Structure 1
Amino acid sequence: MGLQLVFIGTIALCLVVSSAVLERFEQALKQDGSLSFLVIGDWGRKGAYNQSKVAFQMGVIGQQLDIDFVISTGDNFYDSGLTGIDDPDFDTASSLQKQWYSVLGNHDYRGNVEAQLSPVLTNLDKRWLCLRSFICLFTFFVSEVAEFFFVDTTPFVDKYFIEPKDHVYDWSGILPRKQYISNLLKDVDLALQQSNAKWKIVVGHHTIRSAGVHGNTDELVKQLLPILEANNIDLYINGHDHCLQHISSFDSAIQFLTCGGGSKAWRGVVNWWKPEEMKFYYDGQGVMSVKVTETEIDIVFYDVYGHVLHKWNTSKQLHASW
């Protein structure tokens, strides 16, 4: 896989439970009622562009925080995804020492998508899970503490369909596109409505709010964002822009967190953003950690040297059950 991570601790695997629409996985929190994970995106460059340095810090931070899993926000394999299930870029030697939950990025769609989604890869290393869209629920006894909604965002973006130019995208399983997007939006909306989790976290590859070179993804702003706002999600986590970024929202409680600094960065483009909403922007490589309990979320951004760049915390009251 390229990222050489070394963690100490028990590997926690998800258990599949029934779901009428999106495939759902369930896992219990630690005995202290906490959940910790790292987020990395746009990283699949075989160690180049400081990827190895980011991976080293992930190992250090992951061990310190006793993380439960890693989230990849996509572009897992540059430049053009995997060629097949036997692609040597999928190196399981020592790179997956914790459970990984991954979504597809636009670069992954330039390769053999079905290969990257194949259960064959999960059989090679059970800690690798990559699906188009899925749900992970984390519980503490009978309390549903955090629910993660992983959303396949690449098919939303018009330019990949009307301006392919030098790139060919693998749209198997997507066409007819309008029906795919319509069904996905309905599924996500229904799943969010039915969620009883204290914290609702949505993960996708593409930006919704961003001051980076790609900026806002208009298709997601128009189609997905209204659903997220209506269902009162807490965090939207993405990659795509090769930076680290935290933008808050005036219109809702949503925090927009970009973690696309897994390898190539330093693009030198920062677009103006309302200073009241722009909590943090770093035009470089790094990783983000998140710790969740029933009452709090703590977020920390780190650079390739492990230096803390930005911290943010929010809390909710714990309501007693009668």
Structure 2
Amino acid sequence: MALLLTSVITTAISMACCYPTAFQDLVESSSNRSSIKFLAVGDWGGVPYPPYITAVQKATAREMSKVADQMGADFILALGDNFYYKGVNSVDSPRFKDTFEAVYTAKSLKVPWYVLAGNHDHAGNVKAQIDYSHRSDRWKFPSYYYELNFRIPNTGKILTIIMLDTVMLCGNSNDFTDEKPRGPLRKVDANRQLTWLQGRLARSKADFLLVAGHYPVWSVSEHGPTECLLQRLHPLLLKYKATAYLCGHDHNLQYIEESDVGYVVSGAGNFLDPDIRHWNHVPKGSVKFFTGQASTLGGFVHAEVTKNKMIVTFFQARGTSLYRTVLSQRQFK
């Protein structure tokens, strides 16, 4: 009986932590389209006192709406630190309205927001953010970590995005003391996520394979490279030929390219930080783009995935693109 109970509990925990594979429907299903487009923004979570938003968040939201309207956006990746400074306490928190619903009001942003948790979210109740998925038509946070699959229209190609909980994987950090992740709170949860991730990557036949988390693998800014991810995630990205890794945590925009994997840092949704103290702590020559200047007013990323390439464009909230790069589809030998 005890063995059966343990088995049931283990199964329940496993189902709660991850999400079964399924293909997501695109909102707009025009017969002549042949690409998927999305925005990626991290560290966008306002402040815990009136008016619950920052000037950077407001400016970035406004520009996101314009780019989504003009260039198209099927969905948005929210890369963590969704509510500063200590997440939310319950699904009834007014922060969902004040910092999310009342800010991203444009019709072009009324698309699915696929959400993952950052270190500030883990200072509160992440389960409450997951539960908010049942209260909002666009807030999509089914589990701590999960997989998204999309058919690129009229191409026969597939885009897969794996959403990770890097805090569960590596441990929490305190931005105010520049503390690095010290290791997972529960090793069993971290190992379960890593095992799940490796299985998903090994089985993936996606033409474009993206992995997203809050902590960076590579970063030149304040937090720098995340040692835990370099040890546990980086080898998997290389082995399974990931197209790109997207993250936030450092409050700026970065593009780093190493071993045919693109590393996108999009953490300029609410604050800006020009710090480059870790410039020499990433592979030499890998930094292709960086900005964290206050004059940008904030920033985010627009991506378009076509039949054979992924176009990534970095935008500043002032209204212009800053950098563009093209990534190739995965090659299977």
TM tier, smaller: 0.7 to 0.9
Identity of aligned residues (%): 28
Contact 1:247 1:278 in 2 (8 A): yes
Pairing of 1:83-162 with structure 2 (within 5 A):
83-91=89-97, 92=101, 95=105, 97-118=110-131, 121-130=132-141, 131-139=143-151, 140=153, 143-158=156-171, 160=173
Deviations 1:218-253, CA, capped at 9 Å, x for gaps: 00110111112111101000000001000000xx21
Stretches of structure 1 lacking an aligned partner (at least 5 in a row): 1-17, 168-173
C-alpha deviation, 1:65, in angstroms:
1.4
- Map of 2:88 onto structure 1: 82
C-alpha deviation, 1:160, in angstroms:
4.2
Distance (Å, rounded) in 2 between the aligned partners of 1:122 and 1:51: 22
Distance (Å, rounded) in 2 between the aligned partners of 1:314 and 1:268: 27
Contact 1:207 1:216 in 2 (8 A): yes
Distance (Å, rounded) in 2 between the aligned partners of 1:158 and 1:317: 31
Distance (Å, rounded) in 1 between the aligned partners of 2:110 and 2:84: 22
Deviations 1:126-162, CA, capped at 9 Å, x for gaps: 210123101110114683421000011012334649x
Query: Which one-letter code corresponds to 2:300 in the other structure?
Result: V
- Map of 1:27 onto structure 2: 24
Match of 1:253 among 256, 260, 263: 260
- Is 1:272 aligned with 2:279? yes
Contact 2:18 2:145 in 1 (8 A): no
Contact 1:145 1:293 in 2 (8 A): no
User: Where in structure 1 do 4 or more consecutive aligned residues deviate above 4 Å?
Assistant: 158-161, 316-319
C-alpha deviation, 1:316, in angstroms:
4.2
- Is 1:178 aligned with 2:187? yes
- Map of 2:75 onto structure 1: 69
Distance (Å, rounded) in 2 between the aligned partners of 1:85 and 1:21: 20
Deviations 1:257-316, CA, capped at 9 Å, x for gaps: 000000111343443245521100001420110000121111100111121110101334
Distance (Å, rounded) in 2 between the aligned partners of 1:255 and 1:316: 12
Contact 1:137 1:144 in 2 (8 A): no
C-alpha deviation, 1:317, in angstroms:
9.0
TM-score, normalised with respect to structure 1? 0.82
Distance (Å, rounded) in 2 between the aligned partners of 1:38 and 1:60: 12
Q: Residues 136 and 159 of structure 1: is their aligned pair in 2 closer, same or farther, counting only changes over 3 Å?
A: closer
- Map of 1:218 onto structure 2: 227
Give the count of matched residue pairs.
289
Contact 1:203 1:237 in 2 (8 A): yes
Q: Residues 212 and 313 of structure 1: is their aligned pair in 2 closer, same or farther, counting only changes over 3 Å?
A: same
Between stretches 89-98 and 201-210, larger displacement belongs to 89-98
Contact 2:275 2:292 in 1 (8 A): yes
C-alpha deviation, 1:195, in angstroms:
1.1
Distance (Å, rounded) in 2 between the aligned partners of 1:88 and 1:316: 42
- The 3-state SS of whatever aligns with 1:212 is coil
